[in-house]
A and B are shown apart, each in its own frame.
Chain A
Amino acid sequence: MNGWLVAAATLLVLGVGPALWGAATGPVRRRVVAQNLATLLVCLVMLLLAQGYARPAYIDLGLVLSVLGPAGTLVYARLLADELAAVPPTARVARAMTTLSVAAPPLVLPLCVVTGPGRSLAKLLVIGALLMAGNTVSGRAMAGGAHLQRETHDG
């Protein structure tokens, strides 16, 4: 068991566990953010596992998840729009989503350094960019969608 696997196990316990708790309790806005956080964390866990098992092919899992995760959050923002509008996301939620989008690339960077130039590096860079863009877009969709709904309800 090397350091990468230890890091993956730590991320599972300290990251995905609390995210599960957040998704299982509380208001809808917190659940959606917790689910988004879990997607991001599991994506990073996949990358760490790929490095830990020394199998570059496992990086594809992270790539798929970085595409599917934000798409799923957009689906929730759209289909749960009524409930999100009833209890609109606070500024804290929007800030949390922004923090998530900024926090992803620094976590991918060490993996990039270890991987060295090549195909895997390109994949990792794409994953980092996708995570950042996806979290930004889905955060804006959650805040913006609820805001629009409220305006139409008022008007």
Chain B
Amino acid sequence: MADLLIVLALTLVVAAATAAVFTRNPARQALVLALLGLALAVVFTVLQSPDVALSQLAVGSALTPLMLLLAVRKVRGRGRHDGRAREPR
């Protein structure tokens, strides 16, 4: 019965990871990845390691999506810029 929480948290991780794989748009994937980070933090807490969960929270729910979104923004901005430069006048 005590393992129920571990099983539930692991199921959530599997579901979140599968959803992240099947989300093709990187900007939307960032949101699912944030949830994956949260689920992993719950797993670590349930396994009695709050220190790992603490760092997982900071990295998984905030830093990874932020870096992903910034990268997407930069790539898109560059693409738009190049497209404009290549336009025939």
Tell me, yes or no, whether A binds B: yes
CA–CA, A13 to B48, complex, Å? 20
CA–CA, A1 to B54, complex, Å? 24
Task: Give which listed residue, A8, A24, A75, contacts B65 with CB less than 8 A.
Answer: A75
Q: Is the CB of A60 within 8 A of B50?
A: yes
Interface residues of B (CB under 8 A from A): 1-2, 4-5, 8-9, 12, 15-16, 19, 22-23, 27-28, 30-32, 34-35, 38-39, 41-42, 45-46, 48, 50, 53-54, 57-58, 61-62, 65-66, 69-70, 73
3 A-B pairs with least C-beta separation:
A24-B19, A79-B69, A42-B38
Interface residues of A (CB under 8 A from B): 1, 5, 8-9, 12-13, 16-17, 19-20, 23-24, 28, 31-32, 34-35, 38-39, 42, 45-46, 49, 53, 55, 57-58, 60-61, 64-65, 68-69, 71-72, 75-76, 79-80, 83
